Amino acid sequence: MQLIAKDMGIKIGKKEIVKDISILVKKQQFVGLIGPNGCGKSTLLKSIYKSLSPHKGTVLLDDMDVLKTSEKKVSQQLGVVGQFNEVNFDLTVHQMVMLGRTPHKKMLESDKQEDFMIVEESLARTNLLDYKDRSFLSLSGGEKQRVILARTIAQQPKFMILDEPTNHLDIRYQIEILSCVRNLQIGVLAALHDLEMAAHYCDYLYAIKDGEVYAQGTPEEVLTPDTVEALYKIKCQTYINPVTNGLGFAYGV
């Protein structure tokens, strides 16, 4: 599915947090949002997945007008892994991941064989098969994050929004999770802080600064020392990472 978020403007109180941003994610593209803390990435993503109302703008998933479509219909197509995933009630990991099937069910419809198979596959993809009977609340932050991703995979979305999906994850799981998402071969829009990960996984990047698009293009076009220095107000040099053969970054203040 293709996502077009056009002319998005978002105010919180009187403050304009997002000022006229347009984003395009072509079919099966992995697009990243980068930028310093507080620049408006989460706010923009929330407005795209209907958790916040923009004061202007349009969001199209193929020809579905997301802002004018019911949440249930949107969630049959759009999966979200948000930044804070705390829940107050306890469920097993298996039950949590089964919740991902909800948008595809009628009210009070019970779980079918197909749902169990999809949940099993989602647990396998996220390396969680051994955790399925564990209580969600007993898990570490990183394990919880993987369960939320498994739940979103079980939803079988055609497009995914990820807000800092690798928060809490150690380096190995950061790589595993982003590879897992990439392998889904669906359109993805993800806010990422790690620039090496962004360079490695993203086809296209939008750099956000003060609620506006400061730069956009391929990772090589956007992640130049000048742009990184302007975004984060640090010193930066890029190099070829000898392990990944991708872009590497050296930082200093």
Ligand X SMILES: Nc1ncnc2c1ncn2[C@@H]1O[C@H](COP(=O)(O)OP(=O)(O)OP(=O)(O)O)[C@@H](O)[C@H]1O
**Counting contacts by CB under 6 A, is residue 94 touching ligand X?**
no
**Counting contacts by CB under 6 A, is residue 37 touching ligand X?**
yes
Residue 186's SS3 state is: coil
Q: Across the beta sheet with 64-65, what order do the strands follow?
A: 15-25, 3-12, 56-61, 64-65
Q: Are strands 3-12 and 56-61 parallel, antiparallel or unpaired?
A: antiparallel
In which element (H, E) is residue 215 found? strand 212-217
Nearest distance, CB of residue 216 and ligand X, angstroms: 16
Please choose, from the candidates 122, 51, 55, 59, the residue with its C-alpha nearest in 3D space to the C-alpha of residue 93: 122
Nearest distance, CB of residue 154 and ligand X, angstroms: 26
In the complex with ligand X, the residue whose CB is nearer, 68 or 233, is 233
Nearest distance, CB of residue 127 and ligand X, angstroms: 26
Phi and psi at 217, nearest 5°, equal: 150, -165
Amino acid occupying residue 15: K
Stretch that binds ligand X, among 35-43, 109-117, 130-138, 140-148 (CB under 6 A): 35-43
Which token pair is 1? Answer: 């599915």
For residues 16 and 208, give the distance between their C-alpha atoms in angstroms, rounded to a whole number: 14
**Counting contacts by CB under 6 A, is residue 84 touching ligand X?**
no
Please choose, from the candidates 163, 201, 161, the residue with its C-alpha nearest in 3D space to the C-alpha of residue 182: 201
Nearest distance, CB of residue 70 and ligand X, angstroms: 24
Stretch that binds ligand X, among 36-44, 121-129, 140-148, 198-206 (CB under 6 A): 36-44
Stretch that binds ligand X, among 41-49, 92-100, 130-138, 242-250 (CB under 6 A): 41-49
**Counting contacts by CB under 6 A, is residue 197 touching ligand X?**
no
Burial label for 134, CB within 10 Å (0-12, 13-18, 19+), is middle
**Counting contacts by CB under 6 A, is residue 141 touching ligand X?**
no
Contact pattern for ligand X over residues 7 through 26, marking x by CB under 6 A: -----x----x---------
Chain positions contacting ligand X, by CB under 6 A: 12, 17, 35, 37-43
